[in-house]
Structure 1
Amino acid sequence: MRLKRREFLLFLGASLSTASLSSCEDKNLSLDPKSSVKPPKTPLSFQPVKGPIPLATDVVETQVGQFIPIRTASASKQQIQAYKTYEVVDDLVLPEGFTYDLIAAWGDPVGDSRFGYNNDYLSFIETNQNEGYLTINFEYISSATWVQTYEKVIGKSLPIKTIETALKAEKKPRINAFALPANDAVRQAIREVSQEGLIDVGMGVISIRRNSEGKWERTYSAADRRITGISGWIDSRYLKSTGPGVAVFRKKGKGYSDGLGDRIIGTFGNCAGGTTPWGTVFSAEENFQAHVPEDVYPDGTAVNPSETPFSGRLGGLGNVFGLAG
């Protein structure tokens, strides 16, 4: 079996693994655990997990207590030996002495919603010793994987076939669902999929504690809650913008108005974040143009939602709701 580096990196994107690449001379893959080479010792206080490719920071021990960078020519033999084989493990592999606890997973209940998809920035606000609130960014959904696993995780099916059939009839795999009649079957299918996709992005807050065995676990407090990508649309729990800048949302201009004024529908694309010394959490959006139009007119008003139609790769999720950027 021959494995290209690009193929291997794509594989890593779908699973957790501990691995090493075979040498440039021999790319035959060995999955025999007996053939695995132990990672070289380092002057660190812990033994790092060996990754799939050599890093500039990797070192090998050439003599007792003598370490040299693995990237140097003098370390080429050690590099080939250290990265000749790899072992795939379906687990989160940590250095010896480190542990992890599974606290929550996609689909778990959070308030009146569920735990979202693709965790990014995390913030822990301690309220007492060994307990507090964990804030999580759910940045985006991975379209193919999300569709394939949705029914198993959430427990209901999605009208994907209806949408796929409609997309095949288009010259480009995009549909301006906002322009379709309200009772149109394709629009209704896109609305259902878009709503479920937007539920799985945004932010979440869950209460956790460390139990008597030293493991972290959820406490399911009344404060557990979600801010999804569609919050406010159905439940009227809008976010609200304040300050002088909100004037642009209230003015009448050349562009499209969604009628929300200074009210905001949800949040998505939540990547980075920050925690203040006084215990509040910031969450930063990015790439919001994937689901709503980014462009605005010179007067600050938004372009029409038709500029970002629903796509087969689950982009344009705000289109069917008529959401502006």
Structure 2
Amino acid sequence: MQQLPMDGLTHGNRSPVTCELKCGSACAYPPSNPSTQQSFRDVVGLRLSRRTLLLGSGALAAGAVLPALVPTAGEANAARPAPSRGLPFTAIKPVPDTTDDLVVPEGYQWFPIIRWGDPLFHTSPPFDPSVPDAEAQEEQFGYNNDYLDILVTDRRGRHALLCCNHEFVNRSIMFPPRAAGAAELELLRALMAAVGFSVVELERSGRRRPWRYVRGARLNRRITATTPFRLTGAAAGNPLLQTAADPTGTRVLGTFNNCSGGTTPWGTILSGEENFHNYFQSNFPAGTPPTTPLYVQRRRYGFNLTRAGSSYLWERVDPRFNATNASYVNEPNRFGYIIEIDPHDPTSTPRKHTALGRFKHEGANVRVDADGRVAAYMGDDERFEYLYKFVSSRRFRPGGSRSARANNLELLTEGDLYVARFSGEDRADNANLGVGTWIPLVANGASVVPGMSVAEVLVFTRLAADTVQATRMDRPEDVQPHPRTGKVYVACTNNTQRGTAAGMPGADAANPRPDLDAAGVPLPGGNKHGHVIEITEDDDRVDATTFSWNLLLVCGPPGEVGNYFAGYEGPVSPISCPDNLAFDSEGNLWISTDGMQGIAYCDALFKVPLVGEDRGRVQQFLATPINSETTGPVIHDRDGSVFVAVQHPGDGGSWVAQQSFFPDYLDEREARPGDWRGPRPSVVQVIRQGPS
């Protein structure tokens, strides 16, 4: 097998294949943010709470005597059940990361709702991965499901829409090896048809019953790498977005590498285009001056500037993926946006909103305040990147009238764009860890960044954020406003280079790792396990330009110095690499992970209360199979259900040596002629058994 950049460098047993396919092995290369500005370090002693440890120099103090915050796995499992009306459970033990199983608490059962390759339409051919077929894949459920929502559409709770991203593909385990020529080109087209988005109708016989998908339903839809999109916002039509195939700069084909997302109050779905750099051939001739503007722009977004060919080789079937071609030099500028899809209208044209900026969007989640002002919160998922907020120029109009709908569908096309700067200054009342400022990049339709036009800010948003000296974060991924309190929760997944080498920014108040040894020297690994930040907008306004914030969680395995769980002093489940966030009807936070392999466990889903004596009490609800990632959690606790999208199971295998057989787990006695033996990324429902 070909040597991969992350071979020998991954965290624990994580597959280097996942690193290559998902983000182009970003951690094998220097961070794409070369800015040398100082991190905004803590200037006063900071208190995590009135009853716990002090922070020194913006990092969690090494050697501090901590309460027993993290027990052994057995102790965590023996803890009292997590209180909940609809989802009472006793935390499961962490599951070794060699396990090919989906593990749920006692009293619960899981069912796959839909799997990669399941036919969506009456005309869809049956699933047959032995013969890659692009037309077939366009009518089947896509690969590597990520963001997920289940929208119940009737009062009896018997009909719903499943809305789901498809982030990336892995040809090595999806299809048999192909020879050069027509068969190889058809395989590449099939891969292009396996990414994007799916909308699928569901039905069930009653509440607390399993959902099943409806083949041939009216609203079923596939969006792929070739589906037409419309660009909106101030950058639409700008020369930076024009190509030979689209001289208007307003029409883009396709979306891919979509990660998380959000559901808007007006009923549409948002999805974030994340590691788009991985799909374009973008090498420069040897000797190109590194100050060349195009070189600087591509370097800042992590493009591989030396390799002749992209990771996915789509340029072999579509010339627009060859960004070295002068006709398509701007094609990469047309990806990296928040897309908006109307799942209730399968004939609608999905849109890419330039007003929300271009970067490696994890997703976007919307909050509407009491005055109808609308904000979308977004993280840029890469080491040392930034946290953003967009505030709409228009106000939300409730109700289902035609005029309200028309207004709301324009909310994300025009507004102000901000980036966050965190400070460690303590507040006078000691109630919060720090304060922060939303620094404007675009305000009232004008650029606020010296030397950059509005279009340049929206297309090269990372460069704009560098200019105003925003705080460089540890991979800010999902950013979720709480549906009741309005507080905003930010999952910072990890950053293994935080303070580990010369030139790498050290710990600061909002990114408190790495830990220090007794001599004050950073420990190896930087921020390996990530943390979660809790933000409160001043005056509870989404258009506020200042905020206060706390560290909710500083994650890690049992006994690691510096772990913090919102002051909770009892046993908790080990947690590492928080990624996606969700809430239940009682206001509890749920966290899915992407990287628990670093502590030798399968990725998982956790529940964390946010108020009361259990605030910060982390309890593991489920674990997903070997090499997989737990994504897209949806919590319908009143129905006794939890949904997850199980992504990239068995990613380290091959067509002839699969490492996972999720979710079907056929054995030789059950297998029939033609049954395929391999993993199928799937959307799963976990249901509480017994009386309602």
Choose from 69, 72, 81 the match for 1:44.
81
Q: Paired residue for 1:65?
A: none
Choose from 226, 238, 258 the match for 1:230.
226
Counting only pairs closer than 5 Å after superposition, residues 175-214 of structure 1 correspond to structure 2 as 185=181, 188-212=182-206, 214=209
Q: Tell me, which stretches of 5 or more residues in structure 1 are unaligned?
A: 14-36, 53-85, 149-157, 163-184, 232-237
- How far residue 120 of structure 1 moved from its aligned partner, in angstroms, is 0.5
Counting only pairs closer than 5 Å after superposition, residues 152-167 of structure 1 correspond to structure 2 as 160-162=178-180
Distance in 1, Cα, partners of 2:273 & 2:160: 24
Is 1:275 matched up with 2:293?
A: no
Distance in 1, Cα, partners of 2:312 & 2:15: 21
Identity of matched residues, %: 28
Q: Paired residue for 1:91?
A: 101
Counting only pairs closer than 5 Å after superposition, residues 308-319 of structure 1 correspond to structure 2 as 310=309, 314-319=311-316
Q: Paired residue for 1:143?
A: 171
- TM-aligned CA distance change 1:94 to 1:248, over 3 Å: same
Letter in 2 for 1:216: W
Is 1:257 matched up with 2:216?
A: no
Is 1:108 matched up with 2:88?
A: no
Distance in 1, Cα, partners of 2:102 & 2:197: 23
- How far residue 106 of structure 1 moved from its aligned partner, in angstroms, is 0.8
Is 1:133 matched up with 2:161?
A: yes
RMSD: 3.9
- How far residue 140 of structure 1 moved from its aligned partner, in angstroms, is 0.3
Letter in 2 for 1:191: L
Letter in 2 for 1:124: I
Distance in 1, Cα, partners of 2:254 & 2:241: 21
Q: For the Cα contact (< 8 Å) 1:136–1:204, is it kept in 2?
A: yes
Distance in 2, Cα, partners of 1:193 & 1:297: 36
Compare the two structures and name the one with the higher strand fraction: 2
Is 1:121 matched up with 2:108?
A: no
State the number of aligned residues: 217
Q: For the Cα contact (< 8 Å) 2:261–2:269, is it kept in 1?
A: yes
Letter in 2 for 1:114: Q
- TM-aligned CA distance change 1:251 to 1:139, over 3 Å: closer
Letter in 1 for 2:149: S
- How far residue 146 of structure 1 moved from its aligned partner, in angstroms, is 2.2
Q: Secondary structure at the match of 1:196?
A: helix
- Cα deviation per residue 1:30-51 (whole Å; 9 max; x = unaligned)? xxxxxxx897411233222221
Higher RCO (CA < 8 A, seq sep 6+): 2
Q: TM-score, normalised by structure 2?
A: 0.28
- How far residue 279 of structure 1 moved from its aligned partner, in angstroms, is 1.3
Distance in 2, Cα, partners of 1:47 & 1:277: 33
- How far residue 109 of structure 1 moved from its aligned partner, in angstroms, is 1.3
- TM-aligned CA distance change 1:44 to 1:294, over 3 Å: farther
Q: Secondary structure at the match of 1:103?
A: strand
- Cα deviation per residue 1:219-245 (whole Å; 9 max; x = unaligned)? 2312101001123xxxxxx22223332
Distance in 2, Cα, partners of 1:141 & 1:315: 9
Counting only pairs closer than 5 Å after superposition, residues 10-29 of structure 1 correspond to structure 2 as 10=15
- TM-aligned CA distance change 1:8 to 1:215, over 3 Å: same
Letter in 2 for 1:217: R
- Cα deviation per residue 1:251-270 (whole Å; 9 max; x = unaligned)? 87xxx633464221111000
Q: TM-score, normalised by structure 1?
A: 0.56
Q: Tell me, which stretches of 5 or more residues in structure 2 are unaligned?
A: 1-9, 19-73, 83-88, 125-138, 284-291, 299-304, 321-330, 333-692
Letter in 1 for 2:279: H
- How far residue 126 of structure 1 moved from its aligned partner, in angstroms, is 1.8
